[in-house]
Amino acid sequence: MAKMTPRTLSGFMELLPGPQQQMERIMETLRETYTLYGFTPLDTPIIEASEVLLAKGGGETEKQIYRFQKGDSDLALRFDLTVPLAKYVALHYSDLSFPFRRYQIGKVYRGERAQRGRFREFYQADIDIIGDGKLDILSEAEIPSIIYQVFTRLGLQRFQIRVNNRKILNGFYASLGLTEKSQDIMRTVDKLDKIGAEKVSALLTGEEIGLTEAQAREILDFIAIRGTNAEVLSALAQYQGRSELFDAGLSELTTVVQYLSAFGVPEDHFAVDLTIARGLDYYTGTVYETAMLDHPEIGSICSGGRYDNLAEYYTDKQLPGVGISIGLTRLFYVLGEQKMLNEHLNTAPADVLILPMTEDLSPAIALATRLRAAGVRTQLYGEQKKFKAKMNYADKLGVPYVVFLGDDEIQAGLVACKDMVSGEQTKLDFNATLERIQAGLNERSQGKVIVE
């Protein structure tokens, strides 16, 4: 028979069993943490009607969208989890209670140019809190505190959540009479890290934007405000009284900083950073980015912010909210590249491999049943192979324990068990063997998924 060469599309992550176990661990930590904070899981379709998905229209993403015809239907694959959330909330509005807190971990699709570390199918892990008409500022502090928890539980240490408030930026530009140019200015100022203050200044005073030297200097001075959170807030206080919007933003930011401490986020893990603007005009208040301190080249691994109107394309209801999103597939890829995935964690499919040494497999089956009932992941090996081949298999699988069950053991009511790391072999009764295995597994599962 002619064979088709098997392949996986480029830009699509397909993991081997070991890494997949690590990925599952990360997802499990995310689910656990989000759940602890009272977020309910959602699962929306991957395919939506194009007109629904693209109600907002235009934008960068439209070109990248997977869109196709099926029968009479014009369909598209979701490119984020926010638009489906907006649709969900508008559609099921009367069945939901607000504030509505949901998390969703799901695949999204963008037909980007294929390149290393860029994915066309990737997981996003989103949390959002949606209010009906109003939403208290508390949520704007809680959201990043959850992200702090998530990354800390995963084992990430050298990260920082950077917080700003769009009202501060917009209010500041308004006070300079530059509201209409604020989008252009922010886009330009965004390049500060890359091209330096001088070139930014040149661009700001250039023909296209056309600021005065004084305006450009004021903006660069403002953006250059640095220091501890208290220092930045106190520097910002000196701009007060020039714009209501600015003052509202500063008050919000001050509250968010105060509550972030109350939520137990250490000062070195969050920073007020006036350069954070987030591209989307969608955000209206607090905005977040998250940096891996030793890997600035990666960009933000978790971003989001406050918005005033989640579902304006679907409903007249005013639905303000705040949300944040982890680009999980890319993060996982980076962690792998940086050798930051904890290799000491057990990624074998089982904790124990039972090698029966008798023809009748019933005693081995009974033993497997007892181990599984005790919560031990157990694989029963039924193949007729030489002993050496069986041990090779155990080795390759990476199982921590191998159990041998021959006539001798069965008659004596004992279990022979080999610790595959230490090489130590014991012959004990079932309970003593189980205790030893559980103690060993417990020790091995202590570490976190990410090591730095």
List of residues 6+ apart from 157 with CB closer than 8 A: 452
Smallest separation, CB 100 to its own copies (Å): 8
20 in contact with its own copies (CB under 8 A): yes
Residue 99, preceding peptide bond in cis (omega within 30° of 0): yes
Contacting its own copies (CB under 8 A), which of 6, 177, 413, 423?
6
128 in contact with its own copies (CB under 8 A): no
Beta bridge partners of 41: 103
How many other C-beta atoms are found inside a 10 Å radius of the C-beta of residue 300? 18
Reported in sequence order, the residue ranges of 143-264 that DSSP labels E, i.e. its strands, are: 159-165
Spatial strand order in the sheet of 425-428: 378-380, 352-356, 401-405, 415-419, 425-428
Reported in sequence order, the residue ranges of 96-141 that DSSP labels E, i.e. its strands, are: 100-109, 121-130
Smallest separation, CB 242 to its own copies (Å): 28
43 CA to centre of own chain: 16
Q: 391 to 430, contacts with its own copies by CB under 8 A? A: 393, 396-397
Smallest separation, CB 407 to its own copies (Å): 17
Could you tell me if 158 and 292 are in contact, meaning their C-beta atoms sit under 8 angstroms apart? Answer: yes
The percent helix, strand, coil of the chain (3-state, each to 5) is 45, 20, 35
Please say which residue, 198 or 281, places its beta carbon nearer to its own copies: 281
Least Cα distance to 30 among 127, 121, 144 occurs for: 127
Contacting its own copies (CB under 8 A), which of 60, 117, 136, 408?
136
361 in contact with its own copies (CB under 8 A): yes
Q: 210 to 269, contacts with its own copies by CB under 8 A? A: 258-259, 262-264
Give residue for tokens 């990248």. 64
Smallest separation, CB 405 to its own copies (Å): 13
* Residue 294 Cα distances to 3, 156, 343, 352, angstroms: 46, 11, 20, 38
Q: 38 to 97, contacts with its own copies by CB under 8 A? A: 38-49, 51-52, 55, 66, 68-71, 73, 75, 86-88, 90-92, 95-97
131 in contact with its own copies (CB under 8 A): yes
Please say which residue, 274 or 350, places its beta carbon nearer to its own copies: 350
Smallest separation, CB 172 to its own copies (Å): 27
282 in contact with its own copies (CB under 8 A): no
Query: Of 29-37, 164-172, 209-217, 299-307, which part binds its own copies (CB under 8 A)?
Result: 29-37
Smallest separation, CB 140 to its own copies (Å): 10
Q: Note the helical H segments in 16-57.
A: 17-36, 50-53
442 in contact with its own copies (CB under 8 A): no
Please say which residue, 171 or 320, places its beta carbon nearer to its own copies: 320
Please say which residue, 218 or 312, places its beta carbon nearer to its own copies: 312
Q: 320 to 339, contacts with its own copies by CB under 8 A? A: none
Please say which residue, 70 or 194, places its beta carbon nearer to its own copies: 70
Q: 104 to 123, contacts with its own copies by CB under 8 A? A: 107, 109, 111, 121
Could you tell me if 272 and 253 are in contact, meaning their C-beta atoms sit under 8 angstroms apart? Answer: yes
